[in-house]
Each structure stands twice: as structure tokens, then as C-alpha cells.
Amino acid sequence: MLIVQLPEIILHYCIASESCFLLRLDHEGVDDYALFDIKLCDTNAASISADMNIFTPWHGTAMAKINIITFNSMTFSEKTARRFFLDFCWKNHQRHCPACKNRKLYRLSDGRRRCGRCGYTFHDFSRRFLNRCAFTAQQWLWFLKLFSLDVSPAAIGEQMAVSYATVLKAADTVRRAILAQALDAPRLYAAGVWPGPGNPMPERDMVNAPVFGIIELGGMAICDLLPDLSAENLLHFKLNFCLKTASIGQVVYTAPYKQYQSLVSCGPALWPARYVRHADKRLPVEGSPFWAFSKQRLRQLRGVQSSHFPLYLKECELRYNSRDQDLLPVLAQALCAFVPRPTETRTAANGLAQVR
């Protein structure tokens, strides 16, 4: 346990998981939670307070709720809907080149802009998640509203008069946008999760999902990617070290492991033979409200592809942690972010190394 005193904010406690710290802050008498990157672990206590401002904490500060009357005015026209998304796209309405961040831009006659430095031509939604699916801003707003209300894909398709395939693609886009916000996103991409449009598809399909560790504290859940563990390891722990396991469909979860309430994964490696069953009763994680919430959602999926499992789990995490706030602006913000390009960064880094 680490107690650090900072001006105005007292950090009550923190827990270290593989990728992050969860800190409980007493901010002017109001409880707040913040997640910080594990990089803080490497620094000593004296520099933690100095570095604190550099890290942008992801925390539960509620965004303004959008009631149905406000929503109605937002979806009134394409222009009003677009304005809503634009506010999330450009900080202080300052546009910059998505490729090189340069601010010197030329306006083209068709409304697009061209970068004065690298010549990249773009519009406001270029390279962002919401540029996928060819939805108008109005359609995206309606989609997010129905998605946040957990309306089934078939019903969304019917209500919006779009095909079932389009709805699935839009839902996939929103989930990838949610995942991109996670602190462990870079490691999930390294594990074979496709970041989104603009990135090459992974060469091989993911056979087994990565293993996640679950921590729930003070009403906040973290599903942490554990890159050093695999589905095979879980089975090994079960068969050789009697780690208790249970399942929801193909998804297997376990008794506590290290600081985690449970490990969770899915994939054929967990089901090698008929006699292997994951049916232990009364695992401690059953008492976790987050797991009760997630179990219900995972059960509804009726079979989940291993490569999609991280997306569903991160969606559960976000929905649970945002349960007291309006999901629509939270999702809109995620959707307006640029699609990460980890391979490009990696290639650029390699190129730099070669030059050196």
C-alpha cells in the first residue's frame, strides 16, 4: 500500500495490477477513481507526484446527461448531429493534420482540408472510428442511442432501416473504439486484436483469446490483459494445481489468482477433451457485482469467437464502470478518436532504429 499526499487530492490507496494502478481519490470530499498506467511503478515515490499531471487519468467523472429532449434537438438535422460529434473530434475546434499533427492547412473547394506539410487530404472524420460504416452523423447518433440502451442488433436494423450486417459492423466499430481507450490496448493489439480500419488484418486468426485478470474495487472493475498467461496455462493450473474453474458457454473463469479475483478466457485450448469440465461451484468471483453483470451479458451472446472476446469483455467493463452515467457521450467520445495505427508506429520505430 502506498499513500502519497498531493495538494487538494489525497490518494487513499492504490492497487497495482499488471498494467495499471487504481487510485481512490478524495477530491473535495467526493470519491473519485482514477486509473494510471503501470509506468508509474517504475518511478520512485518522489517523482510520482511530479509525473501525475502528465498522465491523463481515465476516471468516472460523469459527462453531461443527454435526455430525450436534448437528443431530439441533436438529431433534428444532419448539421446539428454533426456538430455534436465535431465537439469530440477537435480540441478547442483546432484542426490539425491526422497524419503529422501539423496545423497549417488549406481548405479545398469540396470542404476537405490539405496539410501544408505532408500534403495529406482529409475531412473532419478521416481516420476516426466513426468514418467506418458510411453512416451519417444522424444515423450514428441513433445507433449509439439504441446500442447504449442494449437494443438487439436485429431490432436496431429494423428501427434504422439498415441491414443486419451493417448493424453488426457498426457495433464492432463501437467495441473497437471502446477497446482503443483501454490502458492495455497496445498489448491487446500486440496479442492479435485488429485495431480497426487503416490497419492490416492480422495474418492469423486468433485461436484462443488472451487471458484477462479481473479486479473489482470500490465499485470499479478492471479487466486486465495478462500477456504472460495463455488459455493453456489456465488448463494446466486446473489439472495440475486444482485451480477451480467454471464456465458460461465457451468462456471459462477461475478462482482467485494472485491479486485477481478471477482469470477469464475462452477458446478451444480450454476444452481439450470431453472429460474436462469447468463446473466448480461457488467461486469467490460469483460475489462480484461486475461479474454478475458480465455473466448475464456473456450468456446472451451464445458462443463468442475468441478474437471477439476481448471486445465484449471491454464493453462489459465500460458499461459497468459507466453504469451511473449516460453512455451516449462516453461512446461518442470513443468513436470520435483516431483509429490507432500500432503497426505504423512500430515500422516507424524500426525505421528510426535502422537509421541510427
User: Which residues contact Zn ion (rule: CB under 5 A)?
Assistant: 97, 99-100, 102, 115, 117-118, 120
CB 272 within 8 A of CB 299: no
Q: Which is nearer to Zn ion, 126 or 159 (CB)?
A: 126
CB of 173 to Zn ion, least distance (A): 25
Q: Which is nearer to Zn ion, 70 or 345 (CB)?
A: 345
CB 220 within 8 A of CB 321: yes
Q: Which is nearer to Zn ion, 115 or 167 (CB)?
A: 115
| The 262-266 sheet, strands edge to edge | 220-225, 212-217, 262-266, 251-254, 245-248
Q: Which is nearer to Zn ion, 100 or 207 (CB)?
A: 100
**Residues counted in the chain:** 356
CB of 99 to Zn ion, least distance (A): 5
CB of 126 to Zn ion, least distance (A): 11
CB of 111 to Zn ion, least distance (A): 18
CB of 262 to Zn ion, least distance (A): 45
Q: Which is nearer to Zn ion, 100 or 242 (CB)?
A: 100
CB of 45 to Zn ion, least distance (A): 41
CB of 146 to Zn ion, least distance (A): 36
Q: Which is nearer to Zn ion, 100 or 349 (CB)?
A: 100
Q: Which is nearer to Zn ion, 119 or 268 (CB)?
A: 119
CB 291 within 8 A of CB 222: no
Closest CA to 62 of 341, 326, 353: 326
CB of 95 to Zn ion, least distance (A): 11
CB of 117 to Zn ion, least distance (A): 5
Q: Which is nearer to Zn ion, 53 or 94 (CB)?
A: 94
At a CB cut-off of 8 Å and minimum separation 6, what does 117 contact? 97, 100, 102, 104
Q: Which is nearer to Zn ion, 125 or 291 (CB)?
A: 125
